[in-house]
A and B are shown apart, each in its own frame.
Chain A
Amino acid sequence: MSDATPAISPESRPRLPRGVRLVHNEAHGGWVLLAPERIFKADPTATEILKRCTGEATLGSIVDDLAKSYTAPRERILADVSGLLQGLAEKKLLEL
């Protein structure tokens, strides 16, 4: 397997697979991703991205939406979002 990671298509509609849930729990410090036998803390940035991974919004529209809410260049947001989603997909926590 090559180490090169292909870019995610802007038309991709990322979503949490069955068995992965984003839930809020104060005692666990806010938003957490519940996954098979594992729990991941989601930082505020990851939470904002994951809330938009509904399977309906495309990657392009998620980045557009985030660019409106945050004062950061679109390319930078695209890179951050793609990096996070790619990492989660590799851990089977996200479907692209």
Chain B
Amino acid sequence: MLAELTHRCPLGCPYCSNPLALDPRESELDTRTWARIFREAAALNVLQVHLSGGEPGARRDLVEITAAAHSSGLYTNLITSAIGITPATLARLADAGLDHVQISIQDSEPVSADHIAGYQGAFARKKELAAEVVRLKIPLTVNVVVHRANVERIGAMVEMAIRHGASRVEIAHVQYYGWALHNREALLPTAEQTARALQVVEELRRQHRGAIVIDAVVPDYYAHFPKPCVGGWGRRSLNVTPAGKVLPCHAAESIPGLEFWSVRDHSLADIWANSPAFNAFRGTAWMKEPCRSCARRDIDFGGCRCQAFAITGDARAADPVCHLSPHHDEVVALTTGQRDVPYSYRVNRKSRVKVPESHMR
């Protein structure tokens, strides 16, 4: 379960998966409601909760929220940019039962990293918090979001994660939803860069075996078959937005016409079983050809509904990443659509970094 505690975030990463229309602070769920959701989630056999955002550190009640998740029996994972989590807060989170921390890094080069984050000094702050996580003996994952500006430095970023003391590093090629879709031309690596990146990850796995676990999210647009998005719609995951809407995946609101229910009106169990959005693409009855008769329909579940809609205009179509999709040509065309345009950041910030032209790739 993904708990998006807030959409507020000091960073402005151009690949942010949050929707273009962000939930305002006034609409955010309160501490007690989150505590109820965690109890209901545990009763639904949810095992892990990812406390995410936005930046969860923007919530003043983050410690109370974490304690509530822990006391419900959930495995608690904090997904943070590191900005806004002080060492004192982290110590209180550890006492509250926090199981794991994931810190994102933007690049191995400070100037480029701060430019991508749209926040001066982010690079240094992340390093400081990572050291504090390790000092408190909380397991650390470093998340590296890969796109055209940093794809050549995956090796350096993995070495940085090892220096930070991470036990695990996640190499996540940008998935094009929300702000990432908006900035796709500026973010998409070339086919050559992507092929090389996959090779590099294999080499790094061999090189660092036993030192760090390397998990990699494959770059979607260059795949042969689509990803089994969220393990299949309404099968394994759910996402609660800052305002309390429950979504089958974090991008589901990009599909028009779906009716989402809120935890303000319904229990999580009721939403999981009965909300129209969860039932819209559950199972295989909604499928069209080529998915309907495909041997892989129970393996990848037709891929991603949001991507199908974003590219083909039809959420019931096969994910066009699939080579069997009649729209696959459009994805192939997109992979050559790189343009060196400036990032469009998700917020206008005063701390916007000024960078030399050479880093504007």
Contacts and interface: CB of A to CB of B under 8 A. Distances in A.
Instruction: Report if A and B associate in a common complex.
Output: yes
Nearest to B143: A37
B102 A37 contact: yes
B209 A36 contact: no
A37 B167 CA distance: 12
Interface stretch (B25-33, B45-53, B152-160): B45-53
B168 A36 contact: yes
A34 B45 CA distance: 13
Interface string A13-27: 000011111010111
B229 interface: no
A90 interface: yes
B222 interface: no
Given A1-B210, A28-B47, A21 B75 contact: yes
B199 interface: no
A interface residue count range (under 10 / 10 to 19 / 20 to 34 / 35 or more): 20 to 34
B207 A19 contact: no
Given A18-B139, A19-B100, A19-B139, A92 B167 contact: yes
A37 B47 contact: no
A60 to B, nearest CB: 23
A92 B208 CA distance: 12
B213 interface: yes
Interface string A28-51: 100010101101000000000000
Given A21-B75, A36-B139, A37-B141, A1 B48 contact: no
B47 A32 contact: yes
A39 B168 contact: no
Contact of B213 (A26, A27, A34, A92): A92
A36 B167 contact: yes
B167 A25 contact: no
B213 A91 contact: yes
Interface string B191-220: 000000000000000111110110000000
Q: Top 10 closest A-B pairs, CB basis?
A: A19-B139, A27-B45, A36-B100, A92-B167, A34-B75, A19-B100, A19-B99, A92-B213, A90-B210, A36-B139
Interface of A: 1, 17-21, 23, 25-28, 32, 34, 36-37, 39, 89-92
